[in-house]
Amino acid sequence: MSVALEAATKHQPRARAALTAALVAGPSHAYLFRGPRGSGKRAAARALAAEILATGADDPDDARRRALLDPSPHPDLVWLAPRGAQHLVEEVRDRVIRAAAYRPFEGGRRVFVVEAAEALRDESQNALLKTLEEPPGYAHLILLSSEPELLLETIASRCQAVDFAPLPAEVLEAELVAAVPDVAGGEEAIGPASGEEVAAAARLASGDLERARLLLTARGRQLRADAEACVAAALDGEVGAAPWRGLLERASAAGEDAEGATREVLEEEAEAGLKRTQREIGEEAKRAGRRRRTEILDLGLELCAAYLRDLAAVAAGAEDVAFNRDRLDRLDRQAAGLDPAKSRRAAEAVQGTRRSLDLNVSEELALEALLIRLERETASDAAMPRPQSPQ
């Protein structure tokens, strides 16, 4: 196994075993790397592509080196990521389906990587099906997906699945410790963090390194504060102040940033000659903004649920399993007199609201109803004195 592939899969033993076997037996024509975001799928795909392209190349080391660069200058490596909420149909047709018919520029193989394959529209997936069914012998496709259930069964069944598990919290924590010195400006830069905050981010990220890093940025820290403010308002019986609006404002700001960044990239591509109307640019940018807004709002609610579960744990005397390790003093105060069962039910209510937002309900009304329910579940108990543990 190559050094790059070994490094990319060092925390993914099942994926490492599958890819090692594939390189020994000869790579398949199509793979589906499936697993949560931040679990290493992208790095593993790049390393596998480098090994495939190095095979049969005149200078294997040079082919491998160029394929590992990001972005890669290797002419036989095509890497497709969605510019907005979805992949553009024509981009999939031009850069993957039609391009797969052309023989390699170098060596004997071509590799096509499609990030966020779940963002392929049905039209694109159906068009891609023929390439998967009758691929040229030199073509290899690698699809990456964090939500493989959104792919057509006909697509998934024609790919060899490689599973990536969520990264353990201790692995995320080690990665975050290495990244904490990145204190460059901007909301998405990781700022100085205590060991307790790093540990909390690692546990709150659900195995997603990208999410863990986000939680140590200015935006992530404020999102945590907004989520905790919602729980505190419910505990104190003060939901009339509409604390959920902080979550909505944070999500809206993230969506606007994503829309602006996507619009800028698409306009640059249009100026460079890629055919795209202003209407198409606007629609794609808006989709990207909506997708990011939804992601951040969902993360905010997940943080609310995690905080409520931590309250239940602390109220039950199990502080060692709390995720919010940097909030233990506050959790201890807020858990005084709180019935753990009610706090767990409150966390379940938050998860129910997360699911309901997929149905295009009014976000503000859904959040208002949720906070009223949380207040009803927790306010009366939180005001009671916490019983003393027997000596």
- The per-residue pLDDT for range 286-316, each reduced to its tens digit, is 888 988 998 899 999 999 999 999 999 999 9
Domain boundaries, the chain: 3-163, 217-382
Phi-psi map region of 141: left, alpha, beta (phi>0 left; psi -120 to 50 alpha): beta
Work out the pLDDT band at 114, boundaries 50, 70, 90. Answer: very high
How many residues does the structure list for the chain?
Answer: 391
Sheet architecture: strand order including 30-34: 77-80, 110-114, 139-145, 30-34, 160-163
For residue 386, what are its two tokens?
């916490």
Query: What is the reported pLDDT for 287?
Result: 84
Query: What is the reported pLDDT for 280?
Result: 83
Query: What is the reported pLDDT for 382?
Result: 47
- Please write the tens of the pLDDT for every residue from 232-246: 999 999 999 999 999
Query: What is the reported pLDDT for 30?
Result: 96
- Please write the tens of the pLDDT for every residue from 253-275: 999 999 998 888 888 878 877 67
Answer for the pair 142, 49: CB distance below 8 angstroms, yes or no: yes
Beta strands in the chain (DSSP E): 30-34, 77-80, 110-114, 139-145, 160-163
Number of Cβ within a 10 Å radius of residue 249: 12
Answer for the pair 67, 46: CB distance below 8 angstroms, yes or no: yes
Rounded mean pLDDT, 160-171 = 94
Answer for the pair 158, 30: CB distance below 8 angstroms, yes or no: yes
For residue 25, what are its two tokens?
């037996």
Flag whether pLDDT at 390 surpasses 50.
no
For residues 213 and 182, give the distance between their C-alpha atoms in angstroms, rounded to a whole number: 11
Number of Cβ within a 10 Å radius of residue 210: 12
Answer for the pair 144, 33: CB distance below 8 angstroms, yes or no: yes
Flag whether pLDDT at 383 surpasses 60.
no
Rounded mean pLDDT, 314-341 = 94
Q: Which residue has the tokens 């692995």?
A: 171
Residue 216: closest CA among 257, 173, 259: 173
Flag whether pLDDT at 176 surpasses 70.
yes
For residue 277, what are its two tokens?
């109307």
Which CATH class name applies to 3-163? alpha beta
Query: What is the reported pLDDT for 273?
Result: 75
Q: Which residue has the tokens 């596998």?
A: 48
Better-predicted residue by pLDDT, 381 or 249: 249
Query: What is the reported pLDDT for 302?
Result: 95
Query: What is the reported pLDDT for 270?
Result: 80
Work out the pLDDT band at 189, boundaries 50, 70, 90. Answer: low
Query: What is the reported pLDDT for 31?
Result: 97
DSSP 95: I
- Please write the tens of the pLDDT for every residue from 59-92: 999 999 999 998 899 999 999 988 766 788 888 9
Q: Which residues are CB-contacts of 34 (< 8 A; sequence separation ≥ 6)?
A: 41, 145, 146, 148, 161, 162, 163, 164
Angle between helices 278-315 and 340-356 (to 10 degrees): 170
Number of Cβ within a 10 Å radius of residue 76: 27
CA triple 383-385-391, angle to 5 deg: 155
Query: What is the reported pLDDT for 180?
Result: 64
Answer for the pair 16, 1: CB distance below 8 angstroms, yes or no: yes
Q: Which residue has the tokens 């940025």?
A: 217
Work out the pLDDT band at 231, boundaries 50, 70, 90. Answer: very high
Distances (CA, A) of 3 to 35, 60, 97, 150: 22, 14, 31, 33
Flag whether pLDDT at 388 surpasses 60.
no
Look over the chain and give the mean of its residue pLDDT values, rounded to a whole number: 89
| High-pLDDT (> 70) share of the chain, % | 92
Better-predicted residue by pLDDT, 380 or 246: 246
Flag whether pLDDT at 150 surpasses 60.
yes
Work out the pLDDT band at 389, boundaries 50, 70, 90. Answer: very low
Rounded mean pLDDT, 317-338 = 94
- Please write the tens of the pLDDT for every residue from 5-21: 999 998 999 999 999 99
For residues 195 and 203, give the distance between their C-alpha atoms in angstroms, rounded to a whole number: 13
Rounded mean pLDDT, 208-224 = 93
Q: Is 76 helix (H, G, I), strand (E, B) or coil?
A: coil
Phi and psi at 33, nearest 5°, equal -85, 115
Q: Is 65 exposed, middle or buried (0-12, 13-18, 19+ CB in 10 A)?
A: middle
Flag whether pLDDT at 381 surpasses 60.
no
Work out the pLDDT band at 183, boundaries 50, 70, 90. Answer: very low
Residue 250: closest CA among 230, 226, 270: 226
For residues 32-57, b (16+ Cβ closer than 10 Å) or e, as one string?
bbbbbbbbbbbbbbbbbbbbbbbeeb
Query: What is the reported pLDDT for 188?
Result: 64
- Please write the tens of the pLDDT for every residue from 10-60: 899 999 999 999 999 999 999 999 998 889 999 999 999 999 999 989 999
Flag whether pLDDT at 386 surpasses 50.
no
| High-pLDDT (> 90) share of the chain, % | 69
